[in-house]
């Protein structure tokens, strides 16, 4: 019985220390990256310069946020409220950063894949039109 109480109190204290400064696994309330990822997910892939600009700006913003949070997790800089991360929370911070980074990379990959698919389909359509035109010109010539 005493062991159970000790184990429970240990787990509660670990959980309380993990919640310090909003760093608990899966909690990204402090991070800007999940919001940026959501904006990226809402971006509709289309073949236009405006899409490319929006995409590139969001990716650049995510990369900048990653660098800022990497410095924060390492304890090199303070957050917006001036707090520096404690040594106990560095590992949790890096774990959350890794999760956000992987999600961002998957989202970027999927959007690039859709965009390249659009461009590829457009090029195939142009090629088909050229082929039809050439065949029509050859039929007229002979």
Longest dimension (CA), the chain: 99
Two structure tokens written together for 123: 């090029």
* Residue 75: closest CA among 96, 56, 93: 93
* Residue 41: closest CA among 101, 110, 99, 119: 110
* Residue 89: closest CA among 135, 22, 29: 22
pTM above 0.75, yes or no: no
Non-local CB neighbours of 49 within 8 Å, separated by 6+ positions: none
Non-local CB neighbours of 78 within 8 Å, separated by 6+ positions: 72, 84
What is the domain range of residue 15?
Answer: 2-141
pLDDT in tens, the chain (142 residues): 555 554 545 445 544 444 444 444 444 447 899 999 999 999 988 888 899 999 999 999 999 999 999 999 998 888 878 888 999 999 999 999 999 999 999 999 999 999 999 999 999 999 999 999 999 999 998 8
| Alpha helices, DSSP H, located in the chain | 2-18, 33-42, 49-74, 87-141
């Amino acid at each position: 019985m005493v062991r159970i109480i000790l184990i429970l109190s240990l787990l509660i204290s670990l959980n309380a220390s993990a919640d310090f400064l909003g760093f608990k696994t899966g909690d990204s309330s402090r991070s800007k990256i999940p919001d940026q990822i959501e904006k990226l997910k809402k971006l509709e892939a289309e073949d236009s310069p405006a899409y490319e600009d929006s995409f590139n700006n969001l990716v650049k913003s995510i990369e900048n946020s990653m660098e800022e949070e990497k410095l924060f997790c390492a304890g090199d800089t303070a957050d917006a409220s001036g707090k520096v991360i404690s040594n106990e929370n560095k590992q949790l911070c890096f774990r959350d950063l890794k999760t956000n980074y992987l999600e961002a990379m998957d989202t970027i990959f999927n959007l690039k894949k859709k965009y390249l698919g659009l461009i590829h389909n457009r090029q195939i359509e142009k090629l088909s039109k050229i082929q039809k035109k050439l065949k029509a010109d050859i039929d007229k010539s002979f």
